Structure 1
Amino acid sequence: MKVQIFSDVGCPWCYIGWRRFTTALEQFPHRDQLDIQFGSFQLDPSLPEHDHRSESEYLSQVKGIPAKQVAQMLAHVTAQAKEEGLDYDFDSLVVANSWTAHRLIQRAKAVSADAAIQVEERLFNAHFERGESIADVAVLTRIGVESGLTEEQVQEALNDAQWEDAIRADLAQARAYGVTGVPFFVLDERYGLSGAQPPATFLQALTQAYQEHTQRSPLKPIVTDAADDADAALQGQACGPNGCD
């Protein structure tokens, strides 16, 4: 069963959402039957490749969020990340455009799903925990090689236009699904789940989608016991063009 995860490596909730999703996978008995694919998404395509501002300054100046609210938001996200075993360091975070990083992810997808997952995880770690630039060629080369790509494949990712075309194809697919914020999970090309949901919600969604995998019922939102309105898709914590929850 196909699982698409639309994500931006500059999105703090995407890393948390991925960690919660993997927790659910550990309890899902059919995890070996899943074809997990990361889809590229950009929250802010206008960012320069390298930005001199801190994350707090960027959110205040570009997104128009008051400084006090930014501090509260980052503290909240950091606490949520800590609960998932992640050590976010926004003071050291390097604000950078994620386009080049997405090129590497797309090249890794052509190697294997596992390679793409490893690249994605290492990019998240570099950006949010290690204070490294996800637009730096040396950083991307190291991450690519550590994830099983050859140096030649990494150079191809950085220089061949076909990987930009692959990014644009993902962005078009996201628009077709109506994705406006990430992370966004699409199960079996029929079920949409928005945000960094709790592991139990991911597990219930996976179970429901897998059980109906061969039935091909019409597209509908995942509904779980946590939903107040059975006709509304669950909205978890996510990042959009105007900031993060």
Structure 2
Amino acid sequence: MSEDDVFDPCGEVERDIGRGMFEEEMGPGSSMAHLYRGEIHRMKFWRERLDRTTNWAVTILAAISTWAFTGDTPHFVVLIGMVMLTVFLVIEARRYRGYDLWRSRVRMLQENVFANALDPTTGIEDPAWRRELSEDYRRPKIKITFEEALAHRLRRVYLPLLTVLLVAWLVRITAFDGATHWPASAAVGAVPGVVVSGVVAAFFVGVTAVACRPRTWKANGELRLTDVDVWSDAE
């Protein structure tokens, strides 16, 4: 092998780089297998970070809900719980964007390498996947917007949790404030109850719109009910 063979971009050596990554005789110890293990490990690490944030959010929900109906606890502690859950939502949306970076690579390898290796008769659906994956390794980039990440986490976790707190707050200001009736019972200090109720209503309209508005999802490999085949008894 000469020096020209190594540095010539049109040389045979340059064209052969990476050819052995997909050969059957390489077996499970091939560089592709190690690459896949590494991507799985990174995806698992970011998945655990998401779960950790969710666990804290559920813990706070349980604590706030219990405290709000104990003794003379003011109703606005439930609103504080909503604020805390929103903070966790923002943190988790940022982490979800990082998780999607690794998850998208794993799904690309599963769809184009392992699925075709197990059933080679199906052919390659996306012949440009190697170039796409190569570019992603050269210049990694976040693939989904922050707003889409918020929508994912709201649909999966936070919209139900926030709804539980909303119901708890409504019960607290309507059934546990004695002679004070809504909207006066929703007041927080000098802020009238109508204003507080309006802010809460606007917040829930906003998060519901983010979670449920029609969109083209960019997250690659995010499994939804419409994407998963349901096995029936007849099958």
Report the TM range for the smaller structure's normalisation: under 0.3
TM-score, with normalisation over the residues of structure 2? Answer: 0.22
Q: Of Structure 1 and Structure 2, which has the larger fraction of its residues in strand?
A: 1
**Rg larger in structure:** 2
Structure of higher RCO (CA pairs closer than 8 Å, 6+ residues apart): 1
Q: Of Structure 1 and Structure 2, which has the larger fraction of its residues in helix?
A: 2
TM-score, with normalisation over the residues of structure 1? Answer: 0.21
